[in-house]
Each structure stands twice: as structure tokens, then as C-alpha cells.
Amino acid sequence: MNRLSGKVAIITGAGSGMGAEQARLFAKEGAKVIGGDMNTEGLQNVIAEIKAAGGEAIGVKLNISSPEDWQSTVKTAVETYGKVNVLVNTAGVAGPFIAKAAEHDPDEWDKLLAINLKGAFLGSKYSIPEMLKAGGGSIVTISSIAAALGGQGGTGYAAAKAGLSGLTRNIAVDYGKDNVRANVILPGQIKTPMSAVLETEEAKESKQYYLNKTPLGHFGDPSDVAYAALFLASDESKFITGIELPVDGGVMAN
């Protein structure tokens, strides 16, 4: 308990899946949470859960590819809680599960990069100045093992996720002396609404393929990623920056 006491955290994608689990856990650990999502109904349900459990949280409608939305979100965080200490870039979208480069639709490619890569850039761009005012902060970006391994997602999705690693390393180097840390989590297959496609009959073979690639023999839970994000957001990781942390059941050990 209280691993994030006194900290103010912006969490994107907080209306469902991994982002929702992070919002609940961070609030439980003492953070004041600003949850952002386009799914306002799901988001408000999560905020209500947090408040019912005694935590502090507010929800904002946030299109992560919009600079104006990001400016408004950060302004709301500062006006409500006085500062920004933590940013967790969780929101993202999946593209065509099997999309080879020569077959990839250019518009779909642009959409994947606008949400999965530009969204994290904008969140960092507008949060870092407030972290500097607060004496430092932590940026945790949820990426994917597709950033490091081929065959784990469509080409556009993998390219966007790989871009998050480059973004994170540069933030870590550029702002390290200002006590702003930046790290990436690389989840494997996690049981979320985004991965629900693997539970269909049509995807039965794909699901078994990913299970066979996972040494632990099962998919992860959103809480597995949330606890990793909690560690990287907290002062327990104060000497860790610029890393990629797999939370993948051992896939990358193959």
C-alpha cells in the first residue's frame, strides 16, 4: 500500500483492459489518478469503482492523437491535483493481425502510427514540462513484444510499437539529469478486450500458436502488466530508465 502516495498519475486507456487495471491499482497504492479514454462509459465505471474503494480519481475524454486533447488533459490534472508525476501511455489499437508490408493498407498504417506512436509522443510532450516543475517524474509506456520480435502482429502495429522504444530511450537520455525517467513494458498476449479475437473459433489456430510460443503455457492477466507499471512508476525503480521490460510469459526467452 501507498507505493505511489503523493503522486499524480495520468493513465491513458483507463476505460478497459490494462489501463483500467492500472488505474485501479495506482489509486489503491495512493496515487491521484487522471484516467483518459474515448470510451467514456467504461471510464466512468472505473472512476466510480476507484472512488467507492476510497481512492481519488477523475476521468477525461481523451483522443490520444489530438494535441488539443492532451493539453486539456494535462491542464485538468494540474488544476485538479496541482502537478503531474507519472504518465502511463497505455491506450492503443490493434491493426490487421496478419498484415505483410506489401499488403498493408496505407490508411491503416497511418492510423496505427497516429494512435500507437504519436499518442505516446504527445502525452510525453505535454506531461514532461509539468514533471520538470515537480522535480522529476516517470513515464511508463505500454508497448508489445511485437516491438522486438517478428511475427507477433501486423507490420504497421509492429513498426509503431518499435517506435515507442526509440521514443523512450531518447526521453530517458534527454531528461535523465532532470530526474524524469522513461521505460517501456513489452507485454505478450494479455487477456483484454483487444485480444478477445483470439477466443473466436476462426482464431483457434492462432491462439494455439501463441500459447506454444509462451513457456509459461498461458496468457497473462492485466494485473501482470499493472504491477510492472506500478514498479516503474514508483520510487522503487528510481535508478532505472531507458529499459524495455518484457511481461510475456517467457516468449522473448525463446
Residue 106 in any domain: the answer is yes
Residue 253 in any domain: the answer is no
Task: Summarize pLDDT for 39-49 with one digit per residue, the tens.
Answer: 999 999 999 99
Nearest to 124 by CA among 195, 194, 198, 73: 73
Alpha-carbon distance of 5 to 220, in angstroms, equals: 27
* pTM, entire model: 0.94
Task: Summarize pLDDT for 3-24 with one digit per residue, the tens.
Answer: 999 999 999 999 999 999 999 9
Residue 2 in any domain: the answer is no
Residue 3 in any domain: the answer is no
Alpha-carbon distance of 125 to 158, in angstroms, equals: 22
What does pLDDT average to over the chain?
Answer: 92
Question: Is the distance from CB of 136 to CB of 172 less than 8 angstroms?
Answer: no
Residue 92 in any domain: the answer is yes
Domain hosting residue 179, numbered range: 8-243
Residue 174 in any domain: the answer is yes
Per-residue CA distances from 18 to 44, 78, 238 (Å): 16, 24, 23
Angle between helices 40-52 and 17-28 (to 10 degrees): 20
Q: What is the CATH classification number for the domain harbouring 114?
A: 3.40.50.720
Does the annotation count 81 as an active-site position? no
Residue 234 in any domain: the answer is yes
Per the structure, the count of domains in the chain is 1
Cell readout for 210 is 501463441
Residue 252 in any domain: the answer is no
Type of residue at 153:
G
Query: Of 81, 126, 157, 175, which residue is the catalytic one?
Result: 157
